[in-house]
Amino acid sequence: MKEIQGCTLCIDHLPHGVRPVVQLHPRARILIAGQAPGRRVHESGVPFDDPSGDRLRNWMGLDRTTFYDPTRVAILPMGFCYPGTGPSGDLPPRAECAPAWRERALGALPHLGLTVVLGAYAQRYHLDPAPGSVTGAVAAWRTYWPDQIPLPHPSPRNQGWFKRNPWFLSDVLPTVRGRVRELLTG
């Protein structure tokens, strides 16, 4: 954690400066593999401290105290720092981050029972077989279960996706909540 917090690998490419936002502890049972922090998270330094986090905690059936307990939930985005904003939302995670840190950080999490894989960037990295699309990955969630669960990003920008895919709320999320409860109480 100390090394990650001091990372300046992308300092010349980040318009808002470096501020790695991760949550790691070797005892964590659940990993949230996300994309990159947004502006609000960059400012607070707290992962998922925004409406996306509210939705994600609801999806998982977790309160803030449990979610932010690093001995229970690890949070490791593909890019640790806010990449800035582009024409259609936040820019993608910086490409330098994952090769420099990801395998080492994952190796420090030996007790994981579930990896929640949010969005296209994390899904391309974590899922085998690699999905063709977020919708395809989420629809094929049983392929990766029970160790991994591909989910769409919980961003409010994805309201249309949630409306077009009502099966996600009714079929996938109850199973996710059950697995989360099993791992954190068992």
Give residue 1's pLDDT.
84
Annotated domain spans of the chain: 2-185
pLDDT tens-digit readout, 100-110: 999 999 999 99
For 24-66, what is each residue's pLDDT tens digit? 999 999 999 999 999 999 999 999 999 999 999 999 999 999 9
Q: What is the average per-residue pLDDT within 53-80?
A: 98
- Whole-angstrom Cα distance, residue 37 to residue 50? 10
Q: Residue 74 corresponds to which tokens in the numbers above?
A: 């690890």
Residue whose entry in the numeric block shows the structure tokens 């501020």: 19
Which of the listed ranges 4-13, 60-69, 129-138 does the model predict with the highest average pLDDT? 60-69
How many CB atoms are located within 10 Å of the residue 90 CB? 19
pLDDT band with cut points at 50, 70 and 90 for residue 167: very high
CA 46 from chain center: how many Å?
13
Rounded CA-CA distance 183/113 in Å is 7
Residue 94 binned pLDDT confidence (cut-offs 50, 70, 90): very high
Query: In whole angstroms, what is the distance from residue 85 CA to residue 23 CA?
Result: 23
**Cα torsion angle, 107, 28, 32, 131, sign:** positive
The CATH number of domain 2-185 is 3.40.470.10: yes
| Angle, CA 107 vertex, CA 58 and CA 110 arms, to 5° | 65
3-class DSSP string for the chain: CHHHHCCCCCCCCCCCCCCCCCECCCCCCEEEECCCCCHHHHHHCCCCCCHHHHHHHHHHCCCHHHHCCCCCEEECCCCCCCCCEECCEECCCCCCHHHHHHHHHHHCCCCCCEEEEEHHHHHHHHCCCCCCCHHHHHHCHHHCCCCEEEECCCCHHHHHHHHHCCHHHHHHHHHHHHHHHHHHHC
